[in-house]
A = this chain, B = another copy of it.
Amino acid sequence: MTQIKQAKNHSITPEMEFVAKTEDISKEKICQYVAEGKIVIPKNKNRNTKPTGIGKDLTTKINANIGSSTEIEDISEEKEKLELLVEYGADAVMDLSTGPHLKEIREMIINNTDIPLGTVPIYEAGVDALENQKAIVDMDSDALFKTITNQAKEGIDFITVHCGINKDSIESLKNSDRIMGIVSRGGALTTAWMMHNNAENPLYAEFDYLLEICQEHDVTLSLGDGLRPGCIHDATDIPQIQELTTLGKLVKRARENNVQVMVEGPGHVPINQVKANMQIQKTICYGAPFYVLGPLVTDRAPGYDHITSAIGGSIAASYGADFLCYVTPAEHLSIPNAQQVKEGVIASKIAAEVADIAKEIPSTLKKEREMAEARHNFDWDCQFKLAIDGKTAKEIYDNNPTEDDEMCTMCGEFCALKMVKDNL
């Protein structure tokens, strides 16, 4: 039985207990929200991972994407990225590999971490098509479902599936005045496949079959936003919101079939539209956990999109996003290297912390308070311990040491804290 099915039966699973303890919330509450679909615990039956709750009243979680592309594939670097993202506190990892050795990379991840693992199965189906000398768009829809089944058996905890794209939404897209069209890889692949084969999206048309597979292994669905806006100009337009309404209907069907489900969101969004995007998702998708990529709040900062999405992500999570997908400084430019993965994770952790302060999560407020006290007391070791990246903070501090521990080189003798301490 899936977590949601057991929750509906008022049966509190060890996973729910674990989440309740980690989050300092009653297990009855966790069980209620899992039953209602407002919390998901992505944990495949076939894999023994740390149960992680995503959703209502919980701390904001973050995901880091790694994986190869057809242009770069280096398993040892992917392993290094995996180690770093775990070290710096990512709550989940997605393998977005699209290179020829994607199966090995996935195996490496499964064997080397116990945080929830997600994939986008259509990528593997596409890679298989390429390997069989076919064009990506020539892949077989049966092959796609076979891939999903295999991945479910392997233990994948959550899968991104672009079920919200259908013939209607493509029509909407054609009539829109978008600059960027489609920027979601899975969305573009699905759309290209549909156009090429003049057929409905199999993940939409055969959604019940998809639910069966997920139900059997307790794979959590992450309903992808294939038509998410790819630039500020395209944000919050008809194709995006039309797809969201489709996703809302699918959320209901997934829950009815005892499949855990979350919904993915934009994308590139102006800062003054972020709140509305969060609120509308929560109403249209019946309070389903919201998994957000970014949002990136300007298009003009390639090289710094970890910052643009930390801005958008902070606001998004403070208005209801539950799960932030990190973005690295290499976004729009290149596969990220290990250092860029680390920077992406840290920026995303900052966004989550910022939002959890607004959500008044008690453990978050306690740590913020402890940090302020450590700073006030010139307790540098405690500051480094409490910092999101204490190593880097210590490096900067140690680089310019002072003889007097009760100051730093920033203000020297003019340290406000010191002046007040000495005189008040």
Partner of A400, one of B98, B334, B367: B334
Assembly CA distance A387 to B331 (angstroms): 13
Assembly CA distance A372 to B99 (angstroms): 27
Q: Identify which of A130, A187, A333, A353 gathers the most chain B CB atoms within 10 Å of its CB.
A: A333
Q: List 28 A-B contacts (CB under 8 A).
A: A69-B409, A69-B410, A69-B414, A70-B413, A71-B408, A98-B411, A98-B414, A179-B369, A180-B417, A182-B417, A183-B416, A183-B417, A188-B416, A191-B420, A192-B424, A231-B368, A232-B368, A270-B357, A271-B314, A298-B354, A300-B353, A301-B350, A302-B393, A304-B388, A311-B314, A333-B410, A334-B400, A335-B409
Q: Do A350 and B136 touch (CB < 8 A)?
A: no
Assembly CA distance A420 to B187 (angstroms): 10
For window 292-318 of chain A, which residues contact chain B by CB distance below 8 Å? 297-304, 306-308, 310-311, 314-315, 318
Assembly CA distance A288 to B30 (angstroms): 48
Once A196-B423, A311-B310 are accepted as A-B contacts, the answer to whether A371 and B299 lie under 8 Å apart by CB is: yes
Interface size on A, residues (CB 8 A): 103
Q: Do B300 and A388 touch (CB < 8 A)?
A: yes
- Closest B residue, CB atoms, query A352: B298
Interface of A, helix, strand, loop or mixed by DSSP: helix
Assembly CA distance A304 to B72 (angstroms): 29
Assembly CA distance A120 to B417 (angstroms): 18
Q: Do A387 and B303 touch (CB < 8 A)?
A: yes
**Residue A185 interfacial (CB < 8 Å):** yes
**Residue A397 interfacial (CB < 8 Å):** yes
Assembly CA distance A401 to B250 (angstroms): 40
Once A314-B311, A396-B333, A396-B334 are accepted as A-B contacts, the answer to whether A387 and B72 lie under 8 Å apart by CB is: no
Assembly CA distance A217 to B140 (angstroms): 77
For window 365-424 of chain A, which residues contact chain B by CB distance below 8 Å? 365, 367-369, 371-373, 375-376, 383, 386-389, 392-393, 395-397, 399-400, 402, 407-417, 419-420, 422-424
**Residue A118 interfacial (CB < 8 Å):** no
